[in-house]
Structure 1
């Protein structure tokens, strides 16, 4: 895909507007009014917030709707390699990433209407989402929140078909608050009076209570994981249960036990949004779902070729303690099925709890290679990240790059072929996919 036109538009915007977030809706609302309020002309919207699992829920929701023959738009963030990944437009046979000329024209149009007014690039790109999704036909739109919920630029949708709150844990404390109940209150801000709400699996009873109380106050028809619906593993398959009964389904294509709960939230969300999905379509969705850099197995590419022969390589962009726990659990499951020594190759940014992330792998990972995240100004220096891993009780050493780590492993490894997890940041995961020559499509 040629990305130069849209990239040039975005690079120009970056020079004009501040980085970061504007935690109010005033500027984006004003811009959308000048554009004719395209957010009010969308197909039924599945609006997804949460700390972890938002992207997986979006991927499962898309797979479910497309398996049932529906045309679906999808907006997710951040992207991994190309900005275009944030915008998947509905198409027969499955949505396609937005074409460069269409994307570039929409950015230029929104920027022109903004007229140089103070705004963030994310707000402009959110307005681009609504322009694209309102001007191309579809039967549903899946929109992932960027940060928080209440003041996220996507939260101008007045009547979502369903608001979904995925698992909440500590993240972005500087913006959202330093207690889980404060973060839950921000995420709950996407709920709209009288509109359906799906609450996914929550680790914190405090967060769950905040979400339920908010939904009750707004008179939202609400279904809660573990109370109104759930999913569990049985005989190597996934069983989904709600008030309509049981569905015996294939295990989700996305690895890890946590994906059962993510898939369940998506099934509940699609149903709450008013779509009927057959058992056959649900089965197809479980086996066709795809979500890059979330426990993605890398089997080919330039970096894969540098690894020890027979190594099993996983890529995951999870970047906080909550994500570390579910990834470690997924790898522990792999260890039970097929024992191998686990080695981490990690890069992280400085807004995350690095020691908390690494703590999830204590007793599981044999060694950690820490590398710099070169595509983010917030990247943690590799020597400092090694200290954070050691604080968590892991053996660690800094190296210059993923390629260096893989070659070091290849040249020094003695024993059964290792299992390698490359991860710690979505920025890092994106750089790995680009270097490996396997960007999302």
Structure 2
């Protein structure tokens, strides 16, 4: 990354002007980034401390995240006004194409050997940082891609604040098989002189983070849930989001204070005092598509969440069970896929978690899901070849034409459920959505007053992104 940055004209120190907020973690790092982005948006163009020459007035903020759901442009977002809706923050096609072409030329990609070229994710990190610098972003919220210590985003040497969300076992083939190794990788974003915030962690993980903080000379603070969050409706659904929102509160407050904004309390005071109005609005207005998202369409309530780790499946279960328990008469449907991880283990964990969460209302004679549908991430039924932007998210390195994995998952579900669900295997997400909605014809439902089915779509962010595309066409 240092070499490639030099080739496009930057030293690592050049990124310091972004006043970056660097966020790592196993689960919740994207949600935390979205909460921080929303809180900071409330302060765009607000007055800073008078006479503080080192302070910066935020007139434009950036957000870099991964992966994307529907368009690669979602990974690089810029907001220059409180009035700009989150859906309008991805770079528009013209600006995206301009900076992509600029980097392509600077790196000589047409004549460069593949072995010496930045891979897809690293190229996009370079492009995100380049875009933020060229667009004169005052603060950039940067989500780590994988890990932290050796992640492409760790080229940031002097971020304003760092955060580490909840840790768990994920990407073990890259980061290591133990929670301690995961923590060592994630904790690699710590930098001397930069405050670091984290949430409560497993003892082994916390011990590693504390040791790293001592070695780096870093002030590591553990954030607890803010008491006010029990009484407000967060923009992101799910009780577990209170943890991410609390982490975002501490991070945003520390950053705003470092930037010289007025009347920002220290972390200890902030977490014990009534929420500032702008912080409250930021949490309530936060958006993060495809994570505990609810839609109403075709007579059904669609629950979309890209959970794809054991930990994320575990926190998803109670949210889904609450939705289903509120309308027990509704038909319950699951659409599931996961191409790259141990999909069968995830599926088993989903059922176990759901059974536990739904036990207060689920009759033992009833199935957890009346229908379960397995599909690939391929979007449209009639498009044999996906557009180039979706290739990486649909094939994941191997062909899906024979649906071998989907048939294996169908057999797995039949085994663990005792055959109490109608199980279907289809090729595309379009077909899966049609099957889930086919009892309701073309009836359009925009609210929860006329719900016939509750459909959970989970297991993969790519699956959820494709499902959003289908639902938005309203063709089911």
TM-score class normalised by the smaller sequence: 0.7 to 0.9
Question: Computing the radius of gyration over CA atoms, which structure comes out larger, 1 or 2?
Answer: 2
Give the equivalent residue in structure 2 for 1:53: 28
Q: TM-score, normalised by structure 2?
A: 0.75
SS of structure 1 residue aligned to 2:152: coil
Give the equivalent residue in structure 1 for 2:233: 251
SS of structure 1 residue aligned to 2:155: coil
SS of structure 1 residue aligned to 2:70: coil
| CA–CA distance in structure 1, aligned partners of residues 245 and 406 of structure 2 | 35
| CA–CA distance in structure 2, aligned partners of residues 168 and 435 of structure 1 | 33
- Tell me if structure 1 keeps the 8 A contact 2:175–2:185: yes
359-368 or 140-149, which deviates more: 359-368
| CA–CA distance in structure 1, aligned partners of residues 451 and 99 of structure 2 | 52
SS of structure 1 residue aligned to 2:395: coil
Give the equivalent residue in structure 2 for 1:6: none
- Tell me if structure 2 keeps the 8 A contact 1:42–1:130: no
Give the equivalent residue in structure 1 for 2:269: none
Q: CA deviation at 1:260?
A: 0.5
Q: CA deviation at 1:437?
A: 2.7
404-413 or 383-392, which deviates more: 404-413
- Tell me if structure 2 keeps the 8 A contact 1:42–1:141: no
Q: Cα–Cα, structure 1 residues 90 and 408, in superposed 2: closer, same or farther, change >3 Å?
A: closer
- Tell me if structure 1 keeps the 8 A contact 2:433–2:467: no
Q: CA deviation at 1:267?
A: 0.5
Give the equivalent residue in structure 1 for 2:248: 266
Give the equivalent residue in structure 1 for 2:5: 32
Aligned residues: 386
> Which has the bigger relative contact order, CA under 8 A and spacing at least 6?
2
SS of structure 1 residue aligned to 2:455: strand
Cα deviations across residues 3-36 of structure 1 (Å, max 9, x unaligned)?
xxxxxxxxxxxxxxxxxxxxxxxxx110112222
- Tell me if structure 2 keeps the 8 A contact 1:320–1:357: no
Cα deviations across residues 156-203 of structure 1 (Å, max 9, x unaligned)?
10111111111111111111111111111111111112311011243x
Gaps in structure 2 of 5+ consecutive residues? 45-57, 258-263, 266-274, 359-367, 379-392, 441-449
Q: CA deviation at 1:433?
A: 1.6
Q: Cα–Cα, structure 1 residues 170 and 419, in superposed 2: closer, same or farther, change >3 Å?
A: same
- Tell me if structure 1 keeps the 8 A contact 2:303–2:456: yes
Q: 1:195-214 maps to which residues of 2 (within 5 A)?
A: 195-202=194-201, 204-214=202-212
Q: Cα–Cα, structure 1 residues 159 and 438, in superposed 2: closer, same or farther, change >3 Å?
A: farther
Give the equivalent residue in structure 1 for 2:445: none
Say whether 1:333 aligns with 2:332.
no
Give the equivalent residue in structure 2 for 1:404: 431
| Corresponding residue to 2:332 among 322, 339, 342 | 342
Give the equivalent residue in structure 1 for 2:349: 359
SS of structure 1 residue aligned to 2:341: coil
What is the root-mean-square deviation of aligned Cα atoms in Å? 2.6
| CA–CA distance in structure 2, aligned partners of residues 256 and 295 of structure 1 | 7
- Tell me if structure 1 keeps the 8 A contact 2:430–2:467: no
Q: CA deviation at 1:139?
A: 2.9
Say whether 1:314 aligns with 2:295.
no
Give the equivalent residue in structure 2 for 1:295: 292
Give the equivalent residue in structure 2 for 1:423: 458
Give the equivalent residue in structure 1 for 2:377: 373
| CA–CA distance in structure 1, aligned partners of residues 200 and 326 of structure 2 | 25
Give the equivalent residue in structure 1 for 2:98: 105
Say whether 1:64 aligns with 2:39.
yes
| CA–CA distance in structure 1, aligned partners of residues 471 and 148 of structure 2 | 34
